[in-house]
Structure 1
Amino acid sequence: MINESIMRECEELMKKGSTSFHKAFAGLPSPRREAVHVIYAFCRIIDDSVDEPDKSPYTIHELRWHFTRLEEAEGHFIWPALRWLFASFPKLTHEPFLLQMQGQLGDLTFTHYETMEELESYCYLVAGTVGEMLLPVLREDSDEDVQNAGISLGIGMQIVNIIRDVGEDLRRGRRYVPLELMRKHGYSQEELESGVVNQRFINVIEELRREALGWFEKGLAHVETYPPESGLAVELAAAFYAAILDSVAEAGYDVFRNRAYVSDEVKLRMLGRTAARYASRLGGRPGKAAVL
């Protein structure tokens, strides 16, 4: 049984953390929609425990301790929410949640990336795992290809986050842009730390952009096999995130001083186009597919 008060807490955390994700998944039927809220809320709490520990109710170590003792965990709405989640979706396992916490723990010690391989491993841990969490919620069945697609979409989204948050991450003492990529395009660590936007930096960001879009392409390879409401949600999430890349370019690639975002107007146009394609599968009612 869904506790409405607890579910509202999870949804509010999702709204606050990502309007894009909230809007993309708003058209899911219950209980899939509530399950996405719970997953996002817990991932947000994990992320905040590392990025904003002063504002977090738990340290990352405390979160992992409580999660491994979930049946007894108390003191926060997330614990009964997670118990409901695992009871309602028995194919969902604890492993991707533990892997994500492992990845976030890495942010405390491993802060400067040398290679794309290192970066992709990190992106799998903190975002590819979200694809693994969502699959048992968004669809009844799965196979290796579908699993890999869900992971790929998460990795692509994390690379978008890295592009968008270059300046913010620098202020936290982190550099996710791989040094080998900077060297390839002749862009130095000193230029990065000074916030220099030049053609060499643009070339670095454009290569990361191509990487992200390549992961998106893999991530959407089997979207037609999802239930229509779930497929629409996944496509919208990918479209909203890909549009962040366009916003970065439109702002002159200055990710040091500007945080790229996608306006509600742009999202509404994306929703209309995407929902129209799903109209026949959704009974001809694209307007009910999602709420912006």
Structure 2
Amino acid sequence: MRSGPAAPPPVPPTPTPTTLTASYERCRRLHAAYGRSYYLATRLLPAWKRPHVHALYGFARYADEIVDSFAMTTDRAVALDGLTARLVAGVAGDPISDPVLPAFTHTLRAFDVDLADVDAFLTSMRADLTVRRYATYDELLGYMEGSAAVIGTMMLPILEPLPHAADRAREPARQLGLAFQLTNFIRDVSEDLARGRIYLPLADLDKFGVAEADLAARRATPAVRELVAFEADRARDHYRQALEGIDMLAPSSRPCVRAAYELYSGILHQVEAAGHDVLAGRARVPRRRRLAIFARHLAAASAADRAERRVTAEVP
């Protein structure tokens, strides 16, 4: 995921099973604190859908922070093993002592989320324990399949694809996840390097004559700017492939996804406005712009929500 500011280490499991209500609230707070742009877009969803989106985000953030927040790889591996074990127990219906997993496993069951997607996500999180570089974009895509594409497909049943488009909607959902993830990698070059990781393919660094030391500078060289522009074009291609999927969703979900699309792609606009220098400062969509995007989609969200609440009783 890697969106929003760095978080403190995850809260350790509570001594007694967490209530479902408390778990959903914990996920909501994680989402509000560390995924502000997406959280804002989520406010455009019908109220009943929002907690489930928070649960998916909360779980992803929780796992992501495990692999980023502990000093030793062995500690991270143990913590990730513990999370996986608790998840398996929770999916089986056992009581679990964890602040996030009760909401996540409840959402998995409620929407019949494909557990293979969850496994793929955890595989990518485990890769972060040892893999620090990716030689090619194909290799990076393999990682992003689990870290981002499956987030899109796990979200899909909550967003409700239209019956005639259920199968076709999966690929655009994957592409949107990839677009968001690559946008984060472009924005967070300095932050990731501080953790010892480079998520831009080494083959691309070589192509533009960029040394790893160049990514540690306070300002981007012309070569780094060209590299970032190249990766931004890749991200835009993922956005283009994702766009058709929005109209495949239930009308009440479309304003949220359109807003998220505009907010995240807006980060690329900010990168471009800065001359593709992602080292001098973190690209951010200005608050006024974020609120304007939200306001533009609010009327459509409210109208779609009201329309879906108008259920006509059928007389046998």
TM-score by length of 2: 0.82
Deviation at 1:278, TM superposition (A): 6.4
1:81 aligned partner? 103
> How many percent of aligned residue pairs carry the same amino acid?
26
Contact 1:160 1:244 in 2 (8 A): yes
Query: Is the Cα contact below 8 Å between 2:27 and 2:55 reproduced in 1?
Result: yes
C-alpha distance in 1, partners of 2:203/2:50? 40
Matches of 1:268 and 1:196, distance apart in 2: 30
**Distance in 2 of aligned mates of 1:268 and 1:226:** 23
Q: Distance in 2 between the 1:80 and 1:3 partners?
A: 6
CA displacement 1:138-178 (0-9 Å, x = unmatched): 10545332101101100011000100110011111111111
Q: Distance in 1 between matches of 2:110 and 2:305?
A: 24
CA RMSD of aligned residues (A): 2.4
Aligned partner (choices 106, 114, 133) of residue 93 of structure 1: 114
The answer to whether the Cα contact below 8 Å between 2:28 and 2:58 also exists between their aligned partners in 1 is yes
Match of 1:206 in 2: 229
Matching residue of 2:153: 132
Task: Please report how far the alpha carbon of residue 3 of structure 1 lies from its aligned counterpart in structure 2 after TM superposition.
Answer: 4.4
- Distance 1:282-1:76 versus aligned 2 partners, 3 A rule: closer
The answer as to 2:173 corresponding to 1:153 is no
Aligned to 1:120: 141
Q: Which structure 1 residue ranges, 5 or more long, are not aligned?
A: 285-292
Q: Which amino acid aligns with 1:77?
A: P
**How many pairs does the alignment contain?**
281
Distance 2:100 2:302 in 1: 35
Q: Distance in 2 between matches of 1:227 and 1:143?
A: 11
Task: Out of 189-198 and 91-100, give the one that drifted further.
Answer: 189-198
- Which of 52, 56, 61 is the matching residue for 2:69? 52
2:86 matched to 1:66? Answer: yes
Tell me whether 269-278 or 239-248 shows the greater mean CA deviation.
269-278
Q: How far is 1:19 from its partner? A: 0.7
Gaps of 5+ in 2: 1-18, 308-316
Distance in 1 (alpha carbons) for counterparts of 2:211 and 2:23: 48
> What does residue 266 of structure 1 align with?
289
Contact conserved, 1:64 with 1:98, CA < 8 A, in 2? no
Shift of 1:110: 1.1
Q: Could you say if the C-alpha distance between residues 281 and 161 of structure 1 is closer, same or farther in structure 2, counting changes exceeding 3 Å?
A: same
The one of 27, 48, 51 aligned to 1:10: 27
The corresponding residue for 2:194 is 171
1:144 aligns to what SS in structure 2? coil
How has the CA–CA distance of structure 1 residues 85 and 282 changed in structure 2, closer, same or farther, with 3 Å as cutoff? closer
Distance 1:215 1:41, change over 3 A: same
Secondary structure at the residue paired with 2:253? helix
Deviations 1:111-136 (A, max 9, x none): 11111111111111101010111001
CA deviation after TM superposition for structure 1 residue 257, in Å: 4.1
CA deviation string 1:179-231 (max 9, x = no partner):
11122222222322445512211111111111111111111212112112211
Give the whole-Å Cα distance in 1 for the aligned partners of 2:47 and 2:295. 22
Match of 2:45 in 1: 28
Q: Which residue of 2 aligns with 1:226?
A: 249
Query: Is the deviation greater in 209-218 or in 47-56?
Result: 47-56
Tell me the amino acid that sits aligned with residue 240 of structure 1.
Answer: L
TM-score by length of 1: 0.88
2: CA distance, partners of 1:6 / 1:65:
18
Q: Which moved more, 1:125-134 or 1:64-73?
A: 64-73
Cα shift readout 1:71-92 (whole Å, capped 9, x = no counterpart): 2252223222123213322x31
Q: How does 1:226-265 map to 2 (within 5 A)?
A: 226-265=249-288
Q: Partners of 2:306 and 2:88 in 1: how far apart? A: 43
